[in-house]
Amino acid sequence: MPVEESTPAIVLRARDYGESDRIVTALTLNAGKLSGIAKGAKASRYRFERKLEPFTHAVLHYRRRPHGQLVFITRAEAADLPQHVLDDDLAKIALGSYMLELTDALTTEDSEAAEAYRVLSEGLGALSHRFADAALRQAFEMRLLGWAGFGLEFTRCRICASANGDNGATVYFVVSRGGIVCAKCRPAVAEGAIKLSSAGAATLARLGTAPMDDSPGSEAAGPDGALALARFIGSIVDRRLRSQEFLDSVLPGAGKK
């Protein structure tokens, strides 16, 4: 019999399977993204109760199967992991759901994702004890995109490398270049672009590096900055995120595509 393994994990999604089982997808600290079946999860009060729902932060115990990607989840326990309590506010639920779905979209089964786990845990932790706002959304998007290898450039022009001075000038975000170009270089770029203030670009750069706990009350980049992030995410994710429309409807300054 395969050895039992364990790892801290955050449940991304779960669904019932048959009369008593659940299929769960979770992002883990030590094993990347895992999908597994929890036999008897709907009936067991001891092994699984309330520990296999989205947002749950728990230590998963599981055994790998000789064939197939689904593991057997044998039990889950909260241990001393911080819990993400979002059920007191509709905007928190909307932003938290978006965090889970975006993380799910940018991670793959079995690939190393310890830093993505940490980003998601930090984002949900910040959301648990504060209010949901556009600044936290943008900070999470910037951090997760950075982990995934899409380090968006909002501090320097992608063409001439001139620094964005946060001085009221206009810059242009070009999706295909993953960053801004200055007004001087804009005529040389054939692609469409989203106009941003230099202050908005500087705000996104700050949000992408500051701890998410530091963002309460922070100024967001505004509708144009939100649109730049939404357009870029839409260019790399091959489907419309179901949580995005809900989030856009309840969180001011969300910025629709």
Beta bridge partners of 73: 62
pLDDT digits (tens, 9 = 90+) for 86-107: 887 899 999 999 999 999 999 9
Q: Give the range among 1-5, 27-31, 140-144 with minimum mean pLDDT.
A: 1-5
Residue 168 gets which letter from DSSP?
S
pLDDT score at 219:
84
Looking at the domain 87-257, which fold is it?
Answer: de novo design (two linked rop proteins) (1.20.1440)
Is the CATH number of domain 4-77 2.40.50.140?
Answer: yes
Q: Residue 69 carries which side chain, given as an amino acid letter?
A: Q
186 Cβ contact partners less than 8 Å away, ≥ 6 residues apart: 172, 193
pLDDT digits (tens, 9 = 90+) for 21-47: 899 999 999 999 999 999 888 776 667
Question: What's the burial of 164, exposed, middle or buried (CB within 10 Å: 0-12/13-18/19+)?
Answer: buried
How far apart (Å, rounded) are the C-alpha atoms in residues 145 and 208? 9
Q: What is the pTM for the complete model shown?
A: 0.92
pLDDT score at 226:
94
CATH 2.40.50.140 location in the chain: 4-77
CATH 1.20.1440.120 location in the chain: 87-257
pLDDT digits (tens, 9 = 90+) for 157-192: 999 999 987 667 899 999 999 999 999 999 999 999
Residue 1 has pLDDT above 80, yes or no: no
pLDDT digits (tens, 9 = 90+) for 206-251: 999 988 886 555 788 989 999 999 999 999 998 889 999 999 988 8
